[in-house]
Structure 1
Amino acid sequence: MFLKTLFSVVLVSMTMAAAAQEVGQSTSTPGPAPLGSTATITVIPGGQEDRRVPVKEKISSPEVPIRDYPMRPFSKAGVAVKISTMGAGFDVATPLTRTLNLRGSAMFFTFGHDFTTDGIPYNASLDFKGGAVNVDWFPFHGGFHVSPGVYFLKSDLGGTLLVPAGQTFTLNDVDYTSSGVDPIHGNGSLVFPHTVGPSLTVGWGNILPRSGKHWSVPFEIGAAYFGKPSVTLNLAGVACQGVNCSSVATDPDTQKNVKAEQNTLNDDLKALQTYPIVSIGVSYQF
């Protein structure tokens, strides 16, 4: 009798434990779903029959855009072809830091132009070769940049002049007539006092875009300083005032007027001591 009672108690205890374990499993709350998986949420209202309502939600990680990534010094190179007030040329650039580029430039310019001033016709020509080294600083991590640098200039600006016989011309507000025996002729030249000068430009566009793009359109504006240029005039021939004719090279009064005309031209060139720089081009990053 005692054994039968003990067996009944053990059986009832095991049955209750199994039932409690089943209830605990049905009321457990599922843990959070791993990132990138599909989660199922089960809703069990208390005190009512279980009603499972699946709710699916896609969890994904946000995309992080790639922009302004760092660059190791000299790890890349870019080339630009451009046109500027200093001629046609090209730039080559390489990064120094995230916000700095080192850039070298070469420019070539040849130009011819005929003009007349004070009745004297000039046939002028300009042969210009130059180069530059700049550091491009991008303070806002975009296309805007400030670029201090150094420009190198090698120029040959000169011209010839010929006043046709019988034509009137002016030197220092004094009128002359070119002689038919030996018409006025000569040459002139323009020289910058310095072949190396500091420069400062600002611009938009990066030859080495930090976004990883290959193409860009750089634009730049600023100035370089080479000092005040000077003009030299050399005249020959015979100039007449009425019936009085004399050689330009030997007559003191005429030579004085030639020097005064030369000084007037030099005063007009003061603005060129700060040479304007405007350029635009197309660049490619390798």
Structure 2
Amino acid sequence: MKTRFLSLIAAMAATQAFATTVVDPSLASSQPAAGSDPLMESAVSAIQAPASEATGITFDVNVGTQGLGLSVGYEFNKYLKMRVRGAYLEADYEDTWSDVDGKIEYDGNNAGIIFDYHPFGGVFHLSAGVNFSKMTLSANASMDHGVAQGDYELGGYTFTVNSDKASIDGEYDWNDVQPYLGIGWSTDGDGDRSLYFTFDIGVNFIGKGKFNITSIKGIANVTGPNGEDLGAVTDQIAEDAIREEGKDFFKIADDIFVYPVIQLGMGYRF
């Protein structure tokens, strides 16, 4: 009888220990048994850790009016996030201006810091930040026809060249530091590691642009629109000639002070 009683007590103790471990592992871990296995404890801890808990770090690839870009972000909480982003866009346009080969190239390296405020703690956000950009439109009038000497018409002027590599080059630049305002949507989960999509629409305040002549090569003399001899070509004459040929473009470029931003992206939340 005594032996059965002791066996029953031992069985009850073992059952209670097993139930404590399964139902409330924290109680079992708070009272470790003598000689417990460290490897087993590590395995139990790993199982107990939430597998989907995210670090708040995000990374995405995006494309749009700012070009092909990358973005790295951090989520402070469900209302406030920060992104550091960069993008690059390149485009060119070629045409014949009078009897001169004209080319306009656009290079847009940009990087920025954006703060996203989610007023409802959901996918919609308001964005504000600053964009650091080198937006440059390069204009080139090439009189490279393989002829060492000759006359070329450009914007009502006649340029007499003394080289087979004659050209006029200029650059149109905007502010390098550009405030940004916008709105967007981001499906980057509810605290879980996951794929997400982003869509941003806004504007960079680029300021008023300015066109400057950067080089004049191989031009010996210039004649005005009325046939008057103007002597050596100056930066102002060269700019007037290019502006006249590209007047449709310059009419737009001179009036804009904001750059539209539309970017669509896909990323992962770590």
Quick one: distance in 1 between partners of 2:128 and 2:185? Answer: 14
Distance 1:186 1:105, change over 3 A: same
The aligned runs of 1:101-140 (5 Å cut-off) are: 101-116=81-96, 121-140=101-120
Structure 2, unmatched stretches of 5+, are: 1-52
The answer on 1:162 being equivalent to 2:147 is: no
Q: 1:149 aligns with which of 129, 141, 145?
A: 129
Q: 2:178 aligns with which of 188, 197, 202?
A: 197
Aligned length: 207
Equivalent in the alignment of 1:4: none
The answer on 1:85 being equivalent to 2:65 is: yes
What's the RMSD between the two structures over aligned residues?
3.6
Distance 1:146 1:98, change over 3 A: same
Quick one: distance in 2 between partners of 1:255 and 1:186? Answer: 7
Task: Note if contact 1:110-1:128 (Cα within 8 Å) is conserved in structure 2.
Answer: yes
One-letter identity of the residue aligned with 1:197:
Q
Distance 1:257 1:226, change over 3 A: closer
CA deviation after TM superposition for structure 1 residue 210, in Å:
1.5
CA deviation after TM superposition for structure 1 residue 118, in Å:
6.7
Equivalent in the alignment of 1:274: 258
Distance 1:97 1:232, change over 3 A: same
Distance 1:271 1:215, change over 3 A: farther
One-letter identity of the residue aligned with 1:96:
F
CA deviation after TM superposition for structure 1 residue 113, in Å:
2.8
Structure 1, unmatched stretches of 5+, are: 1-71
Larger radius of gyration: 1
Q: Which moved more, 1:149-158 or 1:181-190?
A: 181-190
Larger RCO (CA under 8 A, 6+ residues apart)? 2
Task: Note if contact 1:105-1:131 (Cα within 8 Å) is conserved in structure 2.
Answer: yes
CA deviation after TM superposition for structure 1 residue 122, in Å:
2.3
CA deviation after TM superposition for structure 1 residue 267, in Å:
4.8
The aligned runs of 1:15-54 (5 Å cut-off) are: none
Quick one: distance in 2 between partners of 1:284 and 1:196? Answer: 29
CA deviation after TM superposition for structure 1 residue 85, in Å:
1.4
Distance 1:85 1:248, change over 3 A: farther
TM-score (norm 1): 0.59
The aligned runs of 1:181-192 (5 Å cut-off) are: 185-192=167-174
CA deviation after TM superposition for structure 1 residue 273, in Å:
1.8
| Identity over aligned pairs, percent | 20
* Structure having the larger proportion of residues in helix: 2
CA deviation after TM superposition for structure 1 residue 110, in Å:
3.0
Quick one: distance in 2 between partners of 1:102 and 1:243? Answer: 61
Quick one: distance in 1 between partners of 2:180 and 2:262? Answer: 12
